[in-house]
Structure 1
Amino acid sequence: MKDFLNESTIQLGVCYYPEHWPEEMWEEDFRRIKDMGFLYVRMAEFAWSIFEPIEGTFEFDLFDRAIQLAKKYDLKVIIGTPTATPPAWLTDKYPEVLNVSREGVRYNHGSRRHYNYNSEIYRTFSKRIVLEMVEHYKSNSTVVGWQIDNEINCEMNVFYSNADHDSFRQWVKNKYQTLEGLNDAWGTVFWNQTYTDWKQIYLTRPTVTHSYNPHQLLDEKRFISDSAISFVQMQANIIRSITDKQWVTTNGMFGHLDNHRMTKEVLDFYAYDSYPNFNKVIEDKSMMPLHDRKWSMNLSTVRSFGGNFAIFEQQAGPGGWVNRLEQPTPRPGQLRLWTYQSIAHGADLVLYFRWRTATKGSEIYWHGINDYHNLPNRRITELKQTSEEIHKIGNTIFHSEYISDAAILTDYPNEWDGEEDNWYGHFIKESKEAWFKAFQYHHIPVDFVNITQEMSLETLAKYRILVYPHPAILTETTAHLLTRYVEQGGTIIFGARTGYKDLTGQTYMKAFPGYIKDLVGVTVEEYTLLNGWQENPDVNLLNKQFKTTGFNEVLQPEVENVEVMGTYLNAHYEGKPALTKRSVSTGTAYYYGSVFNYQTASILLEDMEATNYQHLFILTPDIELAVRKKDGVSIYLLLNYSYQSQHIQLKAEMENLLDNQTCSGSITLTGYDVLVLKEK
C-alpha cells in the first residue's frame, strides 16, 4: 500500500543544513544519518542567498554537492522554497516588500518572515527563485518533494503594508460588489463609519479608542488567510507546471490561516512541526493539566486538515532562542514517547529537528539530536532505538486510520471573530481544552472536525458524540445540518453564547440560541458575564456541585420533553436551569449555559455512551490510548506520559508488536514507555 509519500511504511528523517557546516563534515554526517535508520533529509528553507547571492545570478553548486552525497547514502531530500526569509539585497533595494505594523511602522531586515504576501515585487522575485530551483532539480531523483516557504504566518500573522491595504480594498470590492453591501456587512451606520468611496477602505488602522470595527476585523482575518493561501498556491502552481514527480506541502499551523482549505486546494498533504515541551505547556496550572499531551490535541487538529500527515520538525532536544527559553531537556524516554505520539495521531513521516545544534545565530539553544561537539549523547541512543522499532512495526501502522466516535467541532469564523470578542472568544479555547482533557483522561479517542457551510451529514454521522462549545456564529444552514445529525441518532453538546451571530459577526434579532433553539428546546431567559464584580455562582449538575466561570445563561425550557439536568446555586437566579437535555427522534441535544471545565465535561461524559475501551483495558489517567485501524485490524497504542511506572490491565490476549510477545493481564508500563498492541 502506497500513499502520498510513495512509501509503504513509516519513515524517519532529519533536518540538515549543509550551508551551516564545513563541507568536510557533510559525508560523515550523511553516513551517520543513514546509520540511524533515517531515510529523509530536509534542507534549504532559509537559503535564498545561497541560491541567488546577487539579483539575477543563480548558483546551485553547494546544494548540488550536498544532494549528491545524500544520494550516495540512499537518502531522499526535501527542499524548502526559501521565501520565508528574503535576502538583504532584495529588502535593501525593494523595501516595499517588507511587512508593516498596524501603526504604519515598517519592519526592518533581520530575524525572519519579514515580508508581506501581497507585494507584487516580492511575488515576482518569489516566482523566479522557485522557478529556477524547480527547473534545476525537477529531474533529480533524490529530490522527492517540496516544502513551500516555512511555517506560514509564524512570528507574524497580520500585515499592513501599502500592498496589503490595496489588495484588501480589491478583496472587499470583489466580495461585496457595492459599497452598500460592504456598509451593511460591516454595520458602518454605527459611529458614522459609512464609506462613500472605495478609496476610503483600508485594513484596520489605529483609532482613538483602540476599538476596531469587529465585522471589518473578521473580514481582515479572512483576507490574511486568502493572501497566505494565494502565496502558497502561486508556488505550488509553478512546481506542478514543471514536474509531477515531486510532491508539494508546507509546514506549520499558525493563526489567521484556513489550513483545511489550503490542504484541500493546494497541498498533497500537510506537515506539522511538533514541540511538546514548550514552557507554556509545562507551566499549565489548571486542573488535570495536559502538559506534553497538549500536543495530542494539536496533532488531532492537524489530522483534521486532511487525514494522515508528516512531521517536518519533531523535537529532538532542549530548545530556545538566545532571548527566550522555550523547552528544557527532555527526560529519558520522552523523545521516543513523542515520536509515537505523532505516529499515534497520524504521522506517516517524522523528521527530527535538527541533526546538530547550531553554533551560530538566534537558535543556538534550539538543540538537535547532536550537541555542538558532535560526540555521543543520550538522545542519539534513544532515537536509534526508536528508529529500529519503527522499522519493525512501521508497515503495520503506516497509513492506518485513527478510530474515534467522538469529535470536537471547530470553525474559523468563530475562532477569528472570537479573537476580539471577549464575551465568548476565550471561552472557546477553555472549553475545547476542557473537553479534550476529559476525553483524554477517560481514554476516549477524539477527533477535531472543522464545520463549514458546505459540510454533508455523512461527514458527521460517523460520530456518536459531537461537542460544539461556544459557536456564537451559527447559521441556519449549520443548525439544519446539526438537527439532522441528532435526528439520525447523534448526541451533541452546546455551551453558552451559542447561535446569536451571523457570518458577518452581527447579532440576530432572535431569541438566544438563535437557529438551534428548536433543536435544544430552550431559550435564554437572562445572561451575565462573570468578571469579578459578583461571586461566581455554583451549579448543581447531576447531583454534583461545581463553581461556574466565565459566563452564565439562565435557560428557559420551551417544550415538554426538555429535561433539566442542572441548576444554578447562590445567585439571584438560584434554582433555575443551567443544563438541559432533550431527546430528538433517536438522538440527544444538551445545552449548558456556562463555560466547560474538566469536571463538567467529565460529568457529561458519564451521562453519554462513548467508546472508552473498558472491555479491553483498565488504564490509569497518565496513559493515552490511541486506536488505529488498517485492513480491518485494530492497533492500540498506549503512551505513558508519567515519569513513574503505570500498572494497567489487559482483558484480552494481545500481541506486543515491539517484541512480538503475547501479553495479557497485569502489565507494568515504565516511565515514558510505549506499548503497541494488536488483538490476537
Structure 2
Amino acid sequence: MTTDNTTPRRWLRRAGAPRLEFGADYNPEQWPREVWADDVRAMREAGVTVVSLAIFSWARIQPRPEVYDFAWLDEVMDLLHAGGISVDLATATASPPPWLTARHPEILPVDKFGNTVWPGGRQHWRPTSPVFRAHALRLVRALATRYGKHPALVAWHVNNELGCHNVYDYSEDAATAFRTWLRDRYVTLDGLNEAWGTDFWSQRYSDWDQIIPPRQAATHPNPTQNLDFKRFSSDALKDHLRAERDLLHELSPDVPVTTNFMVMGLMNTMNYPDWAAEVDFVSNDHYVLPGPQARDELSFSANLTGNIAGGKPWFLMEHSTSAVNWQPINVAKKPGELHRDSLTHVAHGADAVCFFQWRQSRAGAEKYHSAMVPHAGEDSALFRSVVSLGERLRDLADLAGSDRVPADVAILVDWESWWVSENDSHPTDRLRYRQEALDWYTALLDLGIRADVVPANGVWNHRVVIAPILHVVPAELAGRLREYVADGGHLITTYFSGIVDQNDQIWLGGYPGAFRDLLGIRIEEFAPLLDDETVELDNGTTGTLWTDRIEVTDPAVEILARYKTGDQAERPAITRREAGAGSAAYVSTRLGPDGVAAVLPGLLDAAGVTSELPPALRGRVELARRGDHRFLINRTSEPIDLGEDGILEPRGVVILRS
C-alpha cells in the first residue's frame, strides 16, 4: 500500500465543527426546475449535509463542442448553498456525450475480440485515448475555473467509478500505451523476454512493436503478459485520475480531490491500494451482494476500505437505501438493515454516509434502484428511515475524525494474488481468492474476534497475520513475512500460497515455494478435489476444493490435523512451526467458515488472542472499535440482551462510549 499513514489527510473544504456527513448523488437535471426547491427542503428535513453533483452531466454542461451551458448548474449550486448543503462536484467525465463519440469514434473501447464497445450505456471511452483525454481535461478546466471558489464546493469528484465498465481496452491506443508501460518496467526486450518466459511456445520478441495486449488467442495467453496487462490497465486508469486531479489542484488548490473506489464483492480489476495515495481522501461505493455471508462481506469491504485509507476517515460515496436494479433478483432491505449497513461503514472509519441516489429516477436504466426519496415519495417508510438515520448521524458528530482502533489479527488481501491465482491453466478453476479470505473473516466474527483486513503490501503490526492464498510472493514480501515471524509474529497461510514471484514464475524446489523453509514443509504435487469430492480431517472438519501431499522437512513442525479420508489419508493437513519468537502455520484445504472457526482457536492460542466480547455475544454480535466508541452490530434477525447496555434490536447497532 502506497498510502503513507504519517501524511495528514485532507477532508472536505468546509467551516464549522466536525460532523459525520450525510447525503447522496443528486441528479437535478433529470427533474423539472420546480422540483429542485422541494428537493432542498426535503434534504434539510432528512439531515442531508452533502450531495455529489453533475456526475453524468457532460451532455448538459457541454451540449455541443463549442457551447457550454452552466446556467442550470449555477442555479442548483446556489440553491444548495442557500439551503446549507455542501457539494462534492463531479468532473462529469464518466460518460462522453453523443456529439463527442459521433465526431471521434476512435475514443470508444475495443474488447478482446476486436469489437467496438458502442455508446448507449456509460464509460464508453478508452483510458489511453489522447483524444478523449484532451476533451475531458478541457471540461475539467471549464468546471474548475467556474466553480473552484463557489462557497458550496467542498470536494472534487473525479469521473465516477473509474474502470467499472472500461478497465480492459484492447485498442491500438491501448497497445501503444502498453508498450510504453512495458519499456518503463523492463527497459530492455531481453528483460521482458526473461520475465515473460517467452521461449515457451516461441513467443520471444525481437521488436517492441511486436507486442500487443492479450487479445483473443487460439489458446491460453502468456500468463505474465496477462498479469502485466492487468497492472497496466489499472495504471492507465490511475494515470487518468492523476491528470484530472493535477489540473484541479492547479486551478483550485484548496479543494480536496477524490474518486469513488469500488471495494466490494468480486471487483478487483483496479488496484485500489496502489491508488490510495493519489486522492486527498479515499471514497468508496459498496452494494450488498446476496448470499449467506452478505452482511459479513459488507463488514469485510468496509474494513478493507478503512485500511486502504491508512486507518484514516473515508467517504462512503454510494450504497443503497434498499433494493438495487442490477442483480438477477433485487430484494428490498429488511427493517433495520438501512441503519445497520450504514453504521457498519461508520464503525470501520467512514466519516460520510451517502447513497445512490437522492430521488429515485422515473426513467433510465436505474429507475428501479432505490433512493432516499422513493417513487412513493416522502410519505413512505423508507424516507422515514432515512430521516431517522440522519438524526442518528448528527448525534454521532463526536466520532468525526477519529481513527479505527487496530485489532490483534490481520487478514492480508493482495490484488496481484487475486488476479493470478484465478488464472486459467491452473490446478483448478474453482478457486475463489476473495471467498477464502471472506471465510476467514466470517470465522473470526463467529468467534467474536476483531480483525483488520489489510493490503498485503501495507502496514501490519498485528499479533497474528492470516494470508489466505497469498499466491504471488516477491522476494521482498517473503522477507518481510520471515522477519515478522522471527520478531514474534504468528503467520497463518493456506493452500496455493507462496507459489510464484512477481513475474508469475514458479519458486523452484517444491511448494509452497517462498514459504517452504519458513513452514518446514515441502509439497511435490498439488491434489485439487473434484466438485463432488470432500475429505475428512481427524479434528472433525471437512475439506473441499484442494488438498496437498505434505512432506514435513523440519522435525520441529507440529501436525495440528491430519487427513482422515481420501488420497491424503494419514498425511498432514494443518501444520505449525515455531520460528524465532513467532510461528508459521499452514492450512492445506478449504475448510469454509465453520471449519476455519473450529481450527482458529488452536492457531490463535500461541499469540494469546481471545475475544473482547462476553461468551454470550460471540458470533451473534460484531464488535468494531473506533476512537473511544464501541460498535455492537447485531449479525442476526433476533433481539439480543446486552445486560446493562440494554437490548440490541434485530439487525440493530448499539454504540457505546468508553
The match for 2:549 is 554
In the alignment, what sits opposite 2:129?
119
Aligned to 2:651: 672
State the Cα distance separating 1:615 from its structure 2 match.
Answer: 5.9
C-alpha distance 256-549 of structure 1, shift in aligned 2 (>3 A): same
Which residue in 2 is equivalent to 1:235?
244
Match of 2:361 in 1: 358
Tell me which residue corresponds to 2:157. Answer: 147
Does the C-alpha gap of structure 1 residues 525 and 627 become closer, same or farther in structure 2, counting only changes over 3 Å?
A: same
**Displacement of 1:348:** 0.3
Could you tell me how far 1:397 is from its partner in structure 2? Answer: 5.4
Question: 1:451 offset after TM fit, Å?
Answer: 2.1
Q: Distance in 2 between matches of 1:603 and 1:331?
A: 31
SS at match of 1:642: coil
One-letter amino acid of the structure 2 residue matched with residue 473 of structure 1: V
- State the 1:396 CA deviation: 3.5
Aligned to 1:391: 394
* Structure 1 residue aligned with 2:5: none
Within 5 Å, give how 1:195-594 maps onto structure 2: 195-209=205-219, 211-253=220-262, 254-264=267-277, 266-276=278-288, 278=289, 281=290, 284=291, 289-306=292-309, 307=311, 308-321=313-326, 325=328, 327-396=330-399, 398-421=401-424, 422-423=426-427, 426-452=431-457, 459-461=459-461, 463-532=462-531, 535-540=533-538, 544-594=539-589
Is residue 542–residue 595 contact of structure 2 (8 Å, CA) maintained in 1? no
Deviation of 1:2 (Å): 9.5
Structure 2 unmatched ranges of 5 or more: 1-7
Cα distance between partner residues in 2 of 1:566 and 1:197: 53
- What TM-score, normalized by structure 1, do the two folds share? 0.90
Q: Residue 541 of structure 2 aligns to a residue in which SS?
A: strand
Deviation by residue 1:93-127 (Cα, 9 ceiling, x = unmatched): 10010011111110111111111110110000011
* Shift of residue 245, structure 1, vs aligned partner: 2.0
Once the two structures are superposed, what CA deviation does each residue of 1:119-178 show, in whole Å capped at 9, x if it has no partner? 110000011000110011111111111110111111343111111111112211222222
Matched, 1:99 2:109: yes
Q: Structure 1 pair 168/584, CA: closer, same or farther in 2 (3 Å)?
A: same
CA contact (8 A) 2:449 2:612 kept: no
1:182 shift after superposition: 1.4
Q: 1:639 Cα deviation (Å)?
A: 1.4
Distance 2:152 2:497 in 1: 52
Change (3 A) 1:388 1:3: farther
What is the aligned counterpart of 1:71 among 60, 64, 81? 81
State the distance in 1 between where 2:53 and 2:494 align. Answer: 45
CA distance in 2, matches of 1:3, 1:183: 43
Match of 1:4 among 11, 34, 39: 11
Distance between the aligned counterparts of 2:185 and 2:90, measured in 1? 33
In structure 2, C-alpha distance between the alignment counterparts of 1:330 and 1:547, rounded to whole Å:
33
Match of 2:640 among 629, 646, 649: 646
Match of residue 625 from structure 2: 627
Which range is displaced more, 303-312 or 91-100?
A: 303-312
User: CA offsets per residue over residues 377-404 of structure 1, 9 Å max, x none?
Assistant: 1111112122112211221354232431
Contact 1:370 1:376 in 2 (8 A): no
Mapped to 2, the partners of 1:2 and 1:259 lie a distance apart of 17
Measured in 1, the distance between the counterparts of 2:533 and 2:69 equals 67
Match of 2:45 in 1: 35
Supply the distance in 1 between the matched residues of 2:218 and 2:238 (Cα, whole angstroms).
33
Report the more deviating stretch, 428-437 or 17-26. 428-437
Q: Structure 2 CA distance, aligned partners of 1:221 and 1:391?
A: 42
Residues 2 and 131 of structure 1: CA distance in aligned 2, closer, same or farther (over 3 Å): closer
Amino acid in the other structure paired with 2:448: H
Deviation of 1:587 (Å)? 1.1
Q: Which runs of 4+ in 1 moved over 6 A?
A: none
> In 2, Cα distance between the equivalents of 1:155 and 1:326?
21
d(CA) in 1 for partners of 2:613 and 2:469? 33
In structure 2, the CA distance between the partners of 1:566 and 1:215, relative to structure 1 (3 Å rule), is same
1:29-68 deviations in whole A, cap 9, x for unaligned?
Answer: 1011012111111110100011111002222111100010
2:460 aligned counterpart, secondary structure: helix
Cα 1:564–1:620 change in 2 (3 A) is closer
Shift of 1:596: 3.9
Alpha-carbon shift at residue 577 of structure 1 (Å): 1.1
More off after superposition, 146-155 vs 551-560? 551-560
What is the alpha-carbon distance in structure 2 between the residues aligned to residue 168 and residue 525 of structure 1?
37
Aligned equivalents of 2:594, 2:323: Cα separation in 1: 33
Quickly say closer, same or farther: Cα 1:74–1:614, change in 2 above 3 A.
closer
Greater RCO (Cα-Cα under 8 Å, separation 6 or more): 2
Tell me if the contact between 2:420 and 2:471 (Cα under 8 Å) persists in the aligned partners.
no
Task: Supply the distance in 1 between the matched residues of 2:58 and 2:656 (Cα, whole angstroms).
Answer: 46
Code of the residue aligned with 2:193 in structure 1: it is N
The alpha carbon displacement at 1:300 in A equals: 1.4
- Post-superposition offset of 1:614: 4.3
How many angstroms apart in 2 are the aligned matches of 1:596 and 1:77? 47
Please, which runs of 5 or more residues in structure 1 have no aligned partner? 650-662
Against the structure 1 CA distance between its residues 300 and 486, is the aligned structure 2 distance closer, same or farther, given a 3 Å change threshold? Answer: same
Opposite residue 329 of structure 1, the aligned amino acid is A
- 8 Å Cα contact 1:626-1:636 kept in structure 2: yes
Hey, what's the Cα distance between the residues in 2 that align with 1:3 and 1:232?
Answer: 17
Relative to total residues, which structure has the larger strand share, 1 or 2?
1
Q: Is the 8 A contact 1:424 1:497 kept in 2?
A: no
**What secondary structure, in the 3-state scheme, does the structure 1 residue paired with 2:150 have?**
coil
- Which has the larger displacement, 620-629 or 117-126? 620-629
Cα offset, 1:579, TM superposition: 1.1
Write the distance in 1 (CA, Å) between the matches of 2:65 and 2:159.
Answer: 19
Decide whether aligned partners of structure 1 residues 130 and 419 sit closer, same or farther in structure 2, where only a CA change above 3 A counts.
Answer: farther
SS state of the match for residue 319, structure 1? coil
Q: Take 2:174 and 2:9, find their aligned partners in 1: how far apart are those partners?
A: 42
Contact 1:101 1:161 in 2 (8 A): yes
Count of residues in correspondence between the two structures: 637
Q: For residue 618 of structure 1, give the secondary structure of its aligned residue in structure 2.
A: helix
**Cα drift, residue 414 of structure 1:** 1.0
Alignment partner, residue 3 of structure 2: none
Letter in 2 for 1:498: S
CA change 1:428–1:314 in 2 (3 A) is: closer
Higher mean C-alpha displacement, 472-481 vs 415-424: 415-424
1:357 is matched by which residue type in structure 2?
A: Q
Q: Read off the aligned partner of 1:676 and give its amino acid letter.
A: I
Contact residue 424 and residue 472 of structure 1 kept, 8 A: no
| Residue pair 1:646, 1:670 contacting (<8 A) in 2 also | yes
**Are 1:474 and 1:499, in contact at CA under 8 Å, matched by a contact in 2?**
yes
TM-score by length of 2: 0.93
